[in-house]
Amino acid sequence: MRIPAHSVCTAIRDDIVAGVHERGSRLTEELLARRYGVSRVPVREALRTLEAEGFVVTRRHAGACVAEPTEREAADLLEVRLLLEPLGAARAAQRRTEAHLKVLRGLVRLGQERARRGSGEDLRSLSGWFHETLVQASGSPALIAMLTQLRHKIAWLYVVEAPAGPVELWAGHGAILDAVARGDSERARALMASHTERSTAVHRLRPSAAGERADPVRNPQHRVNTPSLSS
């Protein structure tokens, strides 16, 4: 697989999130360069970036390896999301453009139609696009970068089960959009806080390479209730 050198970091990160490179596994420059069809220089730079992001660690006598976040670190991701997602919605209410609203309205309309019809295959990706567009509407590069990285890590460590009530979920998206469209930042913040807290209940920690069981996250403010999870 040959990819542009500037895309090496994205490719390695995507493969880590997808489980191609398992947690704790070694990442050798030579093998990665061969896999992605580039020289070792962009691979080395990508590994430095991914180490700064927390996806890679450097170990004595082993070199670069895929990180193995602890239970507490995994739970912290959901707690941080509980703080940042509402902030993003509040900022979006203050800074959104008509272009943002047009995209958000289209996503909500499509999501609500498919939820009512029970055709839920695309609902997860539609929900992801809704949240991504909403944070883009915040107009805050720092917040966009933090939430983007946070979503990558949550996708890496958690499985998200289908919500029990997709119609209610998309009604919630619609309510958030209404608050953003009206410029009501406090209501947008409150609705997103409630929405994000409910979504935590459908997150399950992924099994590590050793095959531990993934259990539900009951409260992101406390240690995740899993037996000896090493991820």
Q: What confidence tens digit (pLDDT) does each residue in 94-135 have?
A: 999 999 999 999 999 999 999 988 766 688 889 999 999 999
Residue 57's domain is classified under what CATH number? 1.10.10.10
Query: Do residues 196 and 208 lie in contact, with contact meaning Cβ atoms separated by under 8 Å?
Result: no
Say what the pLDDT of residue 119 is.
66
Whether residue 80 is found in the same domain as residue 187: yes
Domain that holds residue 160: 71-205
Whether residue 41 is found in the same domain as residue 99: no
Q: Tell me the DSSP string of 73-142.
A: HHHHHHHHHHHHHHHHHHHHHHH--HHHHHHHHHHHHHHHHHHHHT--TTHHHHHHHHHHHHHHTTT-HH
Q: How would you class 98 by CB atoms within 10 Å of its CB: exposed for 0-12, middle for 13-18, buried for 19 or more? A: exposed
Whether residue 35 is found in the same domain as residue 75: no
- Residue 102: CB atoms within 10 Å: 11
Specify if 31 maps to a domain: yes
Specify if 20 maps to a domain: yes
Say what the pLDDT of residue 213 is.
39
Q: What confidence tens digit (pLDDT) does each residue in 52-67 have?
A: 999 999 998 889 999 9
Whether residue 107 is found in the same domain as residue 201: yes
Whether residue 61 is found in the same domain as residue 77: no
Provide the domain count of the chain.
2
Residue 228 clears pLDDT 60, i.e. is over it: no
Query: Is-above-0.85 flag for pTM?
Result: no
